Structure 1
């Protein structure tokens, strides 16, 4: 179930120093049980889990105090307790122990993000699918317009009227676009177009050189025949048009649907994914990532976008070697995400992608 508890009116934001050791332990066990099962936990269950000999009555009193502080709530009159969004935030910020990844886990991420023989979109899609596979979450990556200096560009003949534009960036990423060609185009025109663009694009981004190239073409200063000129124009236009907007890749939405128990929850999830697809929300996510030094955690109602569906998100920016923001990657899931495992995995995956970008 995708719970959307709210904090009691007028409740202040508690801090760890306000909790006794006993309260901390009981609160931690409630959160652990929630992450594990998604179900409320009662005083009798807690009394069996605690090392001390606290009675169920004493535990109920402690849970009542935690509820008064806005850290727990009871979904039903006679049910046990669940953590609120505020409670989860306190737990993540102060009580949760986040370990590093094992060597095997690091190797698995490195292998999944291996860029050899794959384009950057393929690498990002694989990384997103991998994060989704952590369980009970959807993997997400936001990739803005790619503007990397080029190392090589080439036109590859595919058949009558068709060619492939292959671009290799200085970081070794390979990107491809299909273009239409004039029928009867000789192979010499493709070679001429390839040589012309390589002489002007290597070491520069398409955005940096595009205006200069079009100006050359318009003033007939480019020493190209008519067919080669059409190849150059088609290649630049196709690449630029296909790369104007950022992209959102989401994989594993079915994990979120597994948590849905009510029709209203399903509608909220649909609204969430519809909102994420909009350019405005993409820009907001990128802007938020650009101001972050590392992993950002959005828990339920804390964030308008994810609170809409009672979800949480763990997102980290990935940057190039000059620390320029390239995009953001992370997961969206129910508020009972396994934060302790997912946070270091998202953080490391973002760093690996940054290293690939160079």
Structure 2
């Protein structure tokens, strides 16, 4: 993992040079030499003094010297110190927030809103945008209806708080009249509406155990059908929407064909993305993974900036961006943060 050198162990002058070096490298993508540092730092120091400071930073593992250049580039540890202690982040101006809000219309379906958020992150940052589709387990039940089909089959239509409509065909033990199914629908909606799907599954099982001896036929059938309707299957598995992968081709450090192939396989397969985003569900606010901090070798040259998004104060997913370690953190972090807030608000409006 990336070792973290505390800022207090480094002189203010060395911190200043590290900050100048990283900002220059993020902007140009080229190793930064002593002459450039002297000009950009605004300090009247001799080249020898600057070289000594750079040697100290290199010894601490915060910068490195590429073989092809006398200049230095930041390491993952250098970026970590920069992000944790030296970075200045300004909130987005009102015009940019309005622009983001206009491009994330709440009138669309939840799936369309999530896809819009992924494209928006990509277009605003020129990086790859990733958005975890809201976890259905954490969505609340708004309404359920049973519709008779042929024979003993019944269509269960579940409406969630996010406006999602989930359908499931149930095989029943007998044919039901439409009026009976309306009674079952009303019973389940009355008892379980407002609870998230995971809670409903537990409540149904508890109710079946607690009322087994005294439940009438209607209650027994309602609970049995609820158990089938709310059971977990492949439809409940998480998914992630990725946009703007080709933006990564604009960065020399990621543009080699073998690196692009590795990254695109990660985006296509999605499991690593989902595992990484899952880790961010339990953490409030913006999370930043630099290089190997992600835990995935394929993402060793990348930084990932994520933020959870909420509906009714409940975290239902995570969004973020993926790019090279030299991405402009000061500009990207507030975009990710605000987009998460806007996505949650758009999904809440749908509920």
1:328 to 318, 321, 324: 318
Corresponding residue SS for 1:330:
strand
- Shift, 1:262, TM fit: 2.4
Say if 2:131 is the partner of 1:137: no
Question: How many Å separate the matches in 1 of 2:100 and 2:137?
Answer: 23
Q: For structure 2, which runs of at least 5 residues remain unmatched after alignment? A: none
Say if 2:7 is the partner of 1:15: yes
Question: How many Å separate the matches in 2 of 1:247 and 1:174?
Answer: 17
TM-score, normalising length: structure 2: 0.75
Kindly indicate whether the alpha-carbon contact (under 8 Å) linking 1:156 and 1:166 is maintained by their aligned counterparts in 2. Answer: no
Question: How many Å separate the matches in 2 of 1:93 and 1:307?
Answer: 24
Return closer, same or farther for 1:272/1:180 CA change in 2, 3 Å cut-off. closer
Corresponding residue for residue 3 of structure 1? none
- Shift, 1:339, TM fit: 0.8
2:165 to 172, 176, 181: 176
Return closer, same or farther for 1:175/1:306 CA change in 2, 3 Å cut-off. farther
Return closer, same or farther for 1:306/1:124 CA change in 2, 3 Å cut-off. farther
Return closer, same or farther for 1:201/1:321 CA change in 2, 3 Å cut-off. closer
- Shift, 1:82, TM fit: 0.8
- Shift, 1:295, TM fit: 1.1
- Shift, 1:317, TM fit: 2.1
Return closer, same or farther for 1:38/1:164 CA change in 2, 3 Å cut-off. farther
Question: How many Å separate the matches in 2 of 1:116 and 1:189?
Answer: 34
Question: How many Å separate the matches in 1 of 2:102 and 2:121?
Answer: 13
Return closer, same or farther for 1:197/1:347 CA change in 2, 3 Å cut-off. same
Question: How many Å separate the matches in 2 of 1:63 and 1:41?
Answer: 10
Question: How many Å separate the matches in 2 of 1:294 and 1:175?
Answer: 26
Question: How many Å separate the matches in 2 of 1:329 and 1:166?
Answer: 26
Corresponding residue for residue 45 of structure 1? 36
1:221 to 217, 221, 228: 217
> How many equivalent pairs are there?
334
Corresponding residue for residue 108 of structure 1? 99
1:62 to 40, 45, 53: 53
Say if 2:239 is the partner of 1:250: no
1:261 to 255, 264, 268: 255
- Shift, 1:72, TM fit: 1.0
Deviations 1:299-355 (A, max 9, x none): 112332266441111112234445x43222111111011111111222222233444
